[in-house]
Structure 1
Amino acid sequence: MKKRNTLLLSMTQTSIIEINCLNNKPAMKLFALLPMLLGFLAIGQSNAAVGTTHLLCYYDGDSFIREGLSKLTLNDLEPAMQFCTHLIYGYAGINPSSNKLVSTNEKRDLDLGSSLFRSVTGLKKKYPALKVLLSVGGDRDAPEEENSKYLTLLESSNARIPFINSAHSLVKTYGFDGLDLAWQFPKNKPKKVHGGIGSFWKGFKKIFTGNHIVDEKSEEHKEEFTALVRELKNAFRPDGYILGLSVLPNVNSSLFYDVPALINNVDYVNLHAYDFQTPVRNPEVADFTAPIYELNERNPEFNVNYQVQYWLNNHAPASKINVGVATYGRAWKITKDSGLTGLPPVAETDNVGPAGLQTQIAGFYSWPEVCAKLPNQANQHLKGADGPLRKVGDPTKRFGSYAYRSADDKGENGLWVSYEDPDTAALKAAYVKSKGLGGIALVDLSYDDFRGGCTGNEKYPILRAIKYKL
């Protein structure tokens, strides 16, 4: 009998290929099989990468008590769970008297023991791989001036103890898998978009005026937040609970997050890299709200790539970073002085656009509300405030889409909207893949087209586009 040499190559965690090489021509047979082996290896690595990509889906409990078409019930929510790896339910808040973590709507969540908390975590019975987390803050906890209760809690180790104990208790009692810290730190001061001369003058002024101080005690709060995260993780570790961070829009990471000290005590970081420009923060100039890359003559930090690179450069593992993608648009009123082209940045805007029919929030449109304003059979002959917007795509795949309607001869009915749609969301998922990042954090399921009204009955089109690209 001829002697055999056996070569074992592990292709994935569950499959092994065995190659038997006879002594007469082992090298020739091995090299003949090499292209096939490399192909199997590539497939195995690709599948492993897909298996570790996360899609974290936010669900704002306030959507459960909305009226009309924007009301998202648990029955409406369930079809999304086949795509989400994590469901982040919000939002809990802080009781400033006791420093305990509490529901921000106790009537909604805890009334008579019929808890929406339990209903949400109960989704794991049908989707056992799903992780459900409770989020605290998220800019929804009735912020006081400069979010003082969130900063005050950090400043006292005694105040942190009841917060940590109550957080652990809420997570355990209602069957959550962990906690998402969407801490309400002070926001950056809005910055204007300048042209060449404006940029020069702005830099010249800084020599005399300095930068706006967001938080005079930011270094102390950074250290104290690091301590809170460390103490929370220690409390969660015996039960294996997840602890994640959500960096909210326009919060300066360099001021409040000690990345090297934090990163080993958190399971993920969601960078909410959108709303860089909004009609509330920037009422006089309309611009892209969430570009992937830096635009000309803009602030270099107002884009997804800058935010991601900051965390990477400060030694955060790429696998822990998730890019936040919004499912809505921001709308400005534009005037006769705004011009006719719609090309951003659009000057001489007049604050927020009118509220949408479903969400009823001035200057804010869910994706189905945006979709309904784009050209379609229902609005093609309408005029004035009901007339369709002109959609402008992004052939560069770097900045995003926008749509607009120039002001009429009376200076009325002008509207400019920067928004996320399935195509732009897929581009951000492709960016995540190219960078080897952890995944996407979708904010919020209730603003996606969960009824399928705008896309031929296909529910959650933005969520689906991200999932397929990942």
Structure 2
Amino acid sequence: MGRRTIWTGLILLLLLHCIAAAKLVCYFTNWSQYRAGQAAFLPKDVDPFLCTHLIYAFADMKNHQLTTFDPKDVQFYKDLNSLKSKNPSLKILLAVGGWNFGTKKFTDMVARPETLQIFIQSVISFLRQYNFDGFDLDWEYPGSRDSPAIDKERFTALVENLHNAFIEESQKSGKNRLLLSAAVPAGRYHLDRGYEVQKISQALDFINLMTYDIHGTWERTTGHNSPLYRRQSEKGEAAEANVDFAVNYWLKKGAPSNKVILGMPTYGRSFTLSSLSDTGVGAPTSGAGIPGSFTKEGGFLAFYEVCTLTDATFHMIEEQKAPYAIQGNQWIGFDNVESFRAKVRYLKQKGLGGAMVWSIDMDDFKGTFCNQGPYPLIQTLKKELGISSSNESPTPTQTSKPTPGENTFCQDKGNGFYSNPQESNTFYSCIEKQTFKFFCLEGLVFKESCTCCDWP
């Protein structure tokens, strides 16, 4: 009886961390390690209880096969996945792609069934070798940027084939199915040319909507990086350059709201003003803003660089729920705690699945720059989404004794969690052939894809 009681207690402890429905997806960039001084970000700087999902950006592709990109990747894979010993509910995915990756390798890979299968099998092998929980596709973008129009359908085939291969591998190996997500654009142009939304939505576990880089120094006037709403004066295409349009357009195209994860930037876009007499939204600019001391990219500043601006004046674009700063001839549109709270209120109203952060390393992760404590932006998301901390006690799921027929459920199964085909809001835990039955909290159903209770 003692041993069984220990196992039951362990199961309950694990379940306490997988009840929350909202996702907080954080990207980890493997180049942030090279920033100077206190801005250098390493796996040891990750709080294992901060985000529900961590996505490592980016892997590479060679000869149609998934491979590492940076010499330290393998060690970082191990370091990050070791965080799951502290938080067993943390899911860690590996991403391939990104803006600088371009489209050619993706286009060449999906062009033939043979190369597509080579890639898929390499993904499964690579993820299992390094203990990842899933895979994130960041193809920017099928059907655009020298990617041919046929890649729209081929991207769908890629997603569907990955999904089916993950199911088949899980059934054969007895391991939890690998998760599958994709980072997708906010704008109508790239969406229409590259995405069969209803089809890919069925195969993806969640959709990371990149609702940032909406304005930047590729334009000749100031505009916010990630405005929640349009300004009344904006018409035509300009009225579509905001988070609200992007969300509504993806939902209109058929994306399930609970699979859409709203992108939140922990950085801002900066401009050099043409004149100090015109400093508002839409003011003329002469080019990119001055590079930050740590990120060293023109027109781009991490949050910890914005919060330390001296002699800057800070303003709020009330119509867009978006802040900006002016320092001399520098104009910076960024996000802060207040704008993040507004976006969480919005995503709740829309019934979205949670928030995605690009990226974890650009928040004030040590609390040394902004005097707001470690991770002020992401901690705000965590609190507003209602995600429990490691030292909190969320309401536990109820448990009951299995019926006589249910007592035999685990006799031919390995240890793990299993859905109840008769009742979607209940599930079984199998431990050494013994059956334990649990109930999800009201309104939630059990999903084997995440071994958690989630919204239906």
Scaled by the length of structure 1, what TM-score is found?
0.73
Tell me the CA shift for residue 394 of structure 1.
3.6
Matched, 1:120 2:80: yes
* Cα deviations by residue, 1:38-96 (Å, 9 ceiling, x for unpaired): xxxxxxxxx9x98211100111111123332220122212x2x322110111101222x
Matched, 1:268 2:206: yes
**Letter aligned with residue 351 of structure 2:** G
Matched, 1:288 2:224: yes
Structure 1 partner of 2:50: 83
Aligned alpha-carbon RMSD (Å): 2.3
Structure 2 partner of 1:217: 148
Unaligned runs of 5+ in 2: 1-11, 171-176, 386-456
Tell me the CA shift for residue 180 of structure 1.
0.6
Unaligned runs of 5+ in 1: 1-13, 15-46, 189-213, 374-378, 380-387, 407-413
Is contact 2:141-2:147 (8 Å) kept?
A: no
Tell me the CA shift for residue 278 of structure 1.
0.9
Matched, 1:437 2:352: yes
Is contact 1:425-1:462 (8 Å) kept?
A: yes
Structure 1 partner of 2:417: none
Is contact 1:86-1:133 (8 Å) kept?
A: yes
* Cα deviations by residue, 1:198-228 (Å, 9 ceiling, x for unpaired): xxxxxxxxxxxxxxxx66832x111111111
Is contact 1:249-1:275 (8 Å) kept?
A: no
Tell me the CA shift for residue 324 of structure 1.
0.5
Matched, 1:253 2:191: yes
Matched, 1:403 2:403: no
Structure 2 partner of 1:320: 259
**C-alpha separation between the residues in 2 aligned to 1:441 and 1:232?**
22
Matches within 5 A, 1:450-465: 450-456=365-371, 458-465=373-380
Aligned match of 2:280 in 343, 347, 354? Answer: 343
Tell me the CA shift for residue 249 of structure 1.
5.9
SS, match of residue 274 in structure 1: coil
Is contact 2:224-2:269 (8 Å) kept?
A: no
Structure 2 partner of 1:419: 334
Matched, 1:74 2:43: yes
Matches within 5 A, 1:45-84: 51-77=20-46, 79=47, 81-84=48-51
Which deviates the most, 349-358 or 49-58?
49-58
Alignment CA distance shift 1:289-1:149 (3 Å): same
Alignment CA distance shift 1:311-1:50 (3 Å): farther
Is contact 1:91-1:140 (8 Å) kept?
A: no
Matches within 5 A, 1:223-238: 223-237=153-167, 238=169
**Letter aligned with residue 353 of structure 2:** G
Alignment CA distance shift 1:216-1:120 (3 Å): closer
Alignment CA distance shift 1:63-1:405 (3 Å): closer
Structure 2 partner of 1:153: 109
Alignment CA distance shift 1:216-1:89 (3 Å): closer
Higher helix share: 1
Aligned-residue sequence identity (percent) comes to: 30
Scaled by the length of structure 2, what TM-score is found?
0.75
Higher strand share: 2
**C-alpha separation between the residues in 2 aligned to 1:405 and 1:128?**
45
**C-alpha separation between the residues in 1 aligned to 2:185 and 2:362?**
18
Aligned match of 2:181 in 221, 231, 244? Answer: 244
* Cα deviations by residue, 1:88-140 (Å, 9 ceiling, x for unpaired): 11101222xx11111121x1213xxxx21111111111110100000111224
**C-alpha separation between the residues in 2 aligned to 1:319 and 1:52?**
10
